[in-house]
Structure 1
Amino acid sequence: MQHIKTGTLKWRNNQFLKMTALLITAFFFACMAVYLLGPTTYNIEGLRLNFSLSPASQGQTVIHLPPFGSISAFTHNSPLKLSIELSYIGTDLARDLLHSYSSSSFIERLRSHIPGIMPFFIFKQVILAFAGALLMTYLIWRSSLKQTLLAAALAVSLLLLIFWQTFATYDIRAFKEPEYSGVITLAPNLIPEPEKLLSQLDEVQKQTRKVVDNIKVLFAHAENFSLVGNPAESSEIKKVLVISDLHSNPVGIEFITSLAQSFKVDLVIDAGDLTDFGSEAEIQAVEKLKNLNIPYVFASGNHDTPETVAFIKSLKKGIVLEGLTEVAGLKILGTGDPLAASLDVAITDENEWEETVLAKVPELASQAEAKPDLVVIHNHKAAQKLAQTFPLVIHGHNHRLEIAEGNGNIKINPGTAGAAGLRGLYAEKGVPYSAVILYIKPGEKPLACDIVKYDPLADRFFIERKLFKNGLKAQLERYPSASSSTLP
């Protein structure tokens, strides 16, 4: 009798150990199935969002914004990490945000979709977890179907308990004190409270639409500005739209395209920083540049990447400066910023970066004998050195609109066509959108330029004509009948 009792006890112990092993196996592979097969992509309001779950020591939500980095917060009390990655922004969304409805209403619409998505997302995770637990437990232990089903069911029940704990304790307010990783660690210094940013953006969009609607009226007589008192020769003059530092601002795109169309410019020269991080989403934000049917000459900046350069090359008339080229009869010399050759837009060593940029100066200066009409480079310090060799140098980088003339040389910084990007939307003093329309004849010094500034928050528009002494003198010598009294 004692022998039977001992055998029964051993059998029960073995069964308990076996079920424990089955349950551990089932739970492990249930988690693996969720981790490996569970990531799901949803298209919401023009955004492509990838949702995924993974084990974690502390409940956390991580929002990935490649290539900026990520934002995270401890939002719930369960050993689970919810990851959301933004992988795509539709061009229709970018256009609608600018023209159709407000940013704040878009955010509300986006939030309203999330509760409807989560039940389907969780259901998928449960199905995958059960299938993974059932299949792998059976393959490893070859146990009976009843035992395998029981282990899989218990494993999924544990997962459901974790899911319930996650959503029962979830607190979105944790993102009021987020943690940043990657380049976006600069965000606390660069990005204001969302409510402030959205209200500013809505106001900018409202005012910009108003200006865009009326800008052709404002410039209706731009082509009638007499530059030298001899209209018969005006066809020789090339009108060049000079811009820089757009920083992916869609409002700046409206500004640029309106100027190009209203002034009927012959080409655009962009001194770099078309984007902030050169991401796919930013490239989509500036795709309206494809509507410009004129040459677009580009010298990359430190915020640009190979993706930015590839986008310019994809334009019908896009030209990336890598030396000397001729466009619309103008000889243009220039080169891109060294950082644009990599995906890293952060300057880790300021001195090393400047040394690399300035090392390009002798290479460009060696082509002085080609007598380029203008030289383009992004960095302002490199431009300062090049101005000692060339009569006209265009640059950007520091967002300061400046036209310096002296010692027979001219240095033009058009400022920022994108109002310094996102930063310009909420700066207390405001950063105006700015550009320069340059009037120049091939083989001669520039005659004049129009300085254009637009402050959407103040609803102010400013345009000023500047005449260049050397160019004007040469033109008057060529046409003795011309008089300065005929100039506007």
Structure 2
Amino acid sequence: MARDPFRAAAVRVRHLLRPRAGRRPRTGGLPGAAPRPLVRALGLVAVVLLGAWLGLLAVGSVRTPVGPMDTTMTLRPSLSGGTKINVSPLGALELDSHHAPVRLDVDVDRLDPIRSEALVQHPERLAGLEDEVTGDVSAGARELAVRSCVAVVSGATTLGLAVYRRPRRALAAGGLALALLAASGIGAYATWNPKSVLEPKFSGLLSSAPSVVGDARSIVSDFDVYQQELARLVTNVTKLYDATSTLPVYRPDPATLRVLHVSDIHLNPAAWHIIGSLVEQYGIDVIIDSGDTMDHGAAVENSFLDPIADLGAPYVWVRGNHDSAVTQTYLENRKRFPNVRVLDEGRAVTVGGVRVAGVGDPQFTPDRTGPEQAGDVQRTAGLRLAAGLGAQSRAGTPADIAVAHEPEAARQTDGAVPLVLAGHVHHRQNEVMKGGTRLMVEGSTGGGGLRAVQNKSPEQVLASVLYLDRSTRTLQAWDEITLGGLGLTTAEVSRHLPKDAPAPPTSPAPSP
């Protein structure tokens, strides 16, 4: 038979607070004197926190319908706060909704087949889903708040009574627990961020992520409408459940350009399958590869590049320090690769609706005898790229994106282009430089290539989808896609918005 958790906790706390046998409490040397006030205060706090936590575990959850879904809402102690929505079997959705010592967990238990079927078969009913979801969430939150208050007070009072065996001390524990919960609620309210639903972090099935997260244009146009995004999330999850094994296809918004940034593939053949899947799922308009596609740059490796012709999107490429002149010449064959554009020496091309300028890495690793990636050499290459950008701008055809392999070279374009892409370092970096240019460094889309089997743990497979406005080519949002490395099957997609995102219109139009 299972032991009562409150009784077991009380025994442990009493044991910790009880003076050791054979020793007098250190309170001035008087036998039988009470412990120091500080020790008593710390003991009371420990009883309150433990009792409140046990109370939340026992009775601190609420089952409530949200649209066509049956959910369970629970408050949990947390150092960072936020909201976590568990959508089994799709994965989890994390929102940075607030900063307080409590986290809201929402578990989607089941989808009501009658309500979901009616919603999917009669799309006109989606118009009322927004108000329904908002009302359901509000009602569930109110009930959860009341139940949580009862849970923490009951838990702290019960444990206090079991530990101290004094009603007054037990009531003090319950009152302190209620005060702590109220303070946490005030902290959550003060830091509440409704825009967090626009920048979710999704983990689980990669193929479902685009449909759950939504498209960038809707995010910008409905930037300040939290309940519309929440309703859209519920709708998309409903459709995913209804489709079961046949997940819905992500329909690209014609007003948004989608650019897939990849880098440092390093001869990993699995990268072509991943890139092809992303092109199909996200409706990619152009792929930009910032180099190190090869490992040694030898002619015998060239056939590894052949799948690029079948990726289904234009492919813009710059040379990395592991890519030789032989590699570049092979990719420049337009008969073999009609969709490839090789950029070097600041040259620019317009492809897929966006104008891109690039420069190849000035050093080739197998031939190099000097220090790796000497800074002056890279800066010189970057200055050549910046000069090309200036010439393009003076000619009336300014570039929208610049590409270099090494971040030091990319930094030389600050102020000459809105966005510059790079790779080389095998991890992500994202910053807005002093001149206003955003530098986005991608990790290894090949998971480090052969290096994946040399390290203690495999490198992650990284890529990013950039959303650009089709008319202005300004960056609206980007999705960072992270897959587990060799032998791993995890997937995570996180949405990010630039801090200088355009202000929403006063009367945003509803999304189609």
TM-score (normalizing by structure 1): 0.50
TM-score (normalizing by structure 2): 0.47
Which has the greater radius of gyration? 1
